[in-house]
Structure 1
């Protein structure tokens, strides 16, 4: 068995885990990140929802209960964390826009509007006033994108369909990474002689430099152009994940990708190491401190049986709101299912409560009381708590 030593080991490769790892790395600590595979953010819109129930996310956070993770981070901590995220995305070459002081709206592939906070630059012009004309572009054979639904909600709108030769979002995005294809697409757009104020395109404008492609298209046709996120698999979600992972690799953090934790070694009040689940030679990853960022049920950080909910890596105690019969509302599509409050309770240092380990910290959607669906705060909470947990972890290491 080989042993690898680090200052900090982050378990979980989603937005929260990567942000925590980046923050620790920027403080000069030797860091490693362990992930079983690509995270759930690959299925997301790529936008950063902070708190979508009010016009101002920071104002909305003020009204949350004291045990909510945002309350533990604090409004200034949330704002600082989001500012750090914007800096990281600029470094990654995937710029984002927005402010935690004011939400904005984007269009969805079925034509309604979604409230969010920070958006990729390619969606910066997606909040279309009802008075403006809108031209929607689709692609022949593309499923899960409905231009007629979108145009039905805008009185002054129309749509056109381009034949890219492929009919999947990943396939079309790969074509937009080729300059010759972009030029052909622009020539086709020019021939349409679009009279409308803005042009909406499914989020397929390449994987490498979507903002650059969008700027080229917009400049060529003299119109504001923006992307509309598609249903999963989501190109903006994939871009977000790959950009964060790329920055982490460029900064020299060590990644154990496609490997889960098989066992945990501890001594007294401290975790000493984790052993990775591998088919070949076993690897022992030793750390002075650990951060748990494995996500909730969808990501496998929590697992629900008929009688209980368990945390799947360190066996931490999980807060569960009542009996199983009370976990869900009668109306499944309503907000505020009790099960959303399940998770790991932490103190103000983001150490898990009722746990003997002093060098373990927790962040992300595995935290108790998040109510991510109700508050629409997924990636924003991941960024804020990942930053906060990393800060507390850095204090432990110092």
Structure 2
């Protein structure tokens, strides 16, 4: 017998979590299916809505954000462009400059605000940025500045827009953050503050392959007086520490007790302390995943994880159930409405071989050039077609077939599985997931409970 809910969401990333929360708000019973751990653990933990407009993009000039005069336009943040993209100061003023097929153009600015509101409610005071539509400028571990809409509270003291002299501190042996090199890059970029870098030994010795969480837990428990010894090491590395207003560390300053760790270090160093988002494995990304799943639990969303969705059952143009492979046995999960949020090429929500590009769960149409050589551009950072591969939604986010008609009446898609956006170049991945997840989940909940 099939397990039945009002709404079934397939996919456990930001889009899936947002869709499930939005559906639950409507009063629907909701189940979220997640195969593996989400890609959030590989992400920075920042919430980017729209940080850049690729210069090879196009638009018909329509403005789905609403209430914008034709004279309004996006102002570059931080001096103009990055690579072949123009930085965006206010994402809502820039939506109209995106291509018509972009998911933001389908759902409109209101859905972006709905998604951000859901996110803000889910994470509580753990994130900042809700006070303004404008992007903040966050220092990255590579010594660049990234426009983002929401950022962890522990990152906030290090915003690049604040004219506060800064010392960056890295740990010897952790090669993904070279503090002196990052400081030099920021200085060369002309940030409005003095910036220097120093490398110190982490106060507790671990194996070379120790996880980021091991360093964080050592500071949580103050293992071997780790906090005092870390502060002493920073002072030994820079005798003129009193000349800095703030000190930035890679994001491993505690996990469960992160606020206490930073407060202790601030007292010892006499300066504000902030975290710098790092590459994978990302502690900030893992913490964001925990916050979202805590919110799902509080909303009464049922979770089923560890087994892949491998197919579906349908009749009369409607999906009846999703089939999940449980140790070689296909178990049906039935619902009135479904949301596909399995991610893009990276998350395996879109699959490809040398001949074709496919959506593996429901077999939805994914348009792509017949010639595989047309999937990419010669330039490494060019406008690659593969970056925009995904299902094509109608105006209700239902995946459409080649004819343009919805493939299934009760299926909507959200997040990276949608085509039409180059989210890496646009710095828009989380925002697309929030906006489309909120829209798809709300519509699924409304249809299931009416």
TM over 0.5: yes
Q: Which runs of 5+ in 2 are unaligned?
A: 53-87, 188-193
Check the 8 A contact 1:98/1:119 in 2, yes or no: no
2:419 alignment counterpart: 368
Correspondent of 1:188 among 232, 248, 252: 232
Separation in 2 of the partners of 1:387 and 1:131? Answer: 36
2:183 alignment counterpart: 151
What are the within-5 Å matches in structure 2 for residues 318-397 of structure 1? 318-321=366-369, 323-334=371-382, 336-354=383-401, 355-397=406-448
- CA shift at 1:362, angstroms? 0.5
Distance 1:321 1:123, change over 3 A: farther
Matched, 1:136 2:168: yes
Separation in 2 of the partners of 1:202 and 1:156? Answer: 15
- CA shift at 1:190, angstroms? 8.3
- CA shift at 1:340, angstroms? 1.9
1:173 alignment counterpart: 216
- CA shift at 1:114, angstroms? 2.0
RMSD of the alignment, in Å? 2.3
- Describe the superposition over 1:217-275 as per-residue Cα deviations: whole angstroms up to 9, x where unpaired: 33554322111112211111111112211221233221111111133111111111122
Check the 8 A contact 1:50/1:100 in 2, yes or no: no
1:107 alignment counterpart: 139
- CA shift at 1:29, angstroms? 1.3
Out of 41-50 and 61-70, give the one that drifted further: 61-70
Separation in 1 of the partners of 2:95 and 2:34? Answer: 30
Matched, 1:259 2:307: yes
Matched, 1:244 2:277: no
Out of 63-72 and 5-14, give the one that drifted further: 63-72
Matched, 1:26 2:73: no
Q: What TM-score results when the alignment is normalised by the length of structure 1?
A: 0.91
Check the 8 A contact 1:49/1:117 in 2, yes or no: yes
Separation in 2 of the partners of 1:353 and 1:172? Answer: 47
- Describe the superposition over 1:324-350 as per-residue Cα deviations: whole angstroms up to 9, x where unpaired: 22111111223x112222211111111
Separation in 2 of the partners of 1:364 and 1:377? Answer: 10
- Describe the superposition over 1:101-151 as per-residue Cα deviations: whole angstroms up to 9, x where unpaired: 211222222222222221111111222369642222222322311112123
- Describe the superposition over 1:267-296 as per-residue Cα deviations: whole angstroms up to 9, x where unpaired: 111111122111176532111111000011
Distance 1:149 1:252, change over 3 A: same
Check the 8 A contact 2:168/2:197 in 1, yes or no: yes
Q: What TM-score results when the alignment is normalised by the length of structure 2?
A: 0.81
Check the 8 A contact 1:105/1:126 in 2, yes or no: no
What are the within-5 Å matches in structure 2 for residues 39-118 of structure 1? 39-53=38-52, 54-90=88-124, 94-98=126-130, 101-118=133-150
Matched, 1:218 2:266: yes
Separation in 2 of the partners of 1:325 and 1:191? Answer: 55
Check the 8 A contact 1:294/1:300 in 2, yes or no: yes
Residue 125 of structure 1 aligns to a residue whose secondary structure is helix
Check the 8 A contact 1:303/1:310 in 2, yes or no: yes
1:204 alignment counterpart: 252
Q: After the TM superposition, which segments of 4 or more aligned residues of structure 1 sit over 6 Å from their partners? A: none
Distance 1:10 1:49, change over 3 A: same
Check the 8 A contact 2:23/2:443 in 1, yes or no: no
Separation in 2 of the partners of 1:77 and 1:156? Answer: 39
Separation in 2 of the partners of 1:103 and 1:339? Answer: 27
Number of residue pairs matched? 394
- CA shift at 1:189, angstroms? 6.5
Residue 291 of structure 1 aligns to a residue whose secondary structure is strand
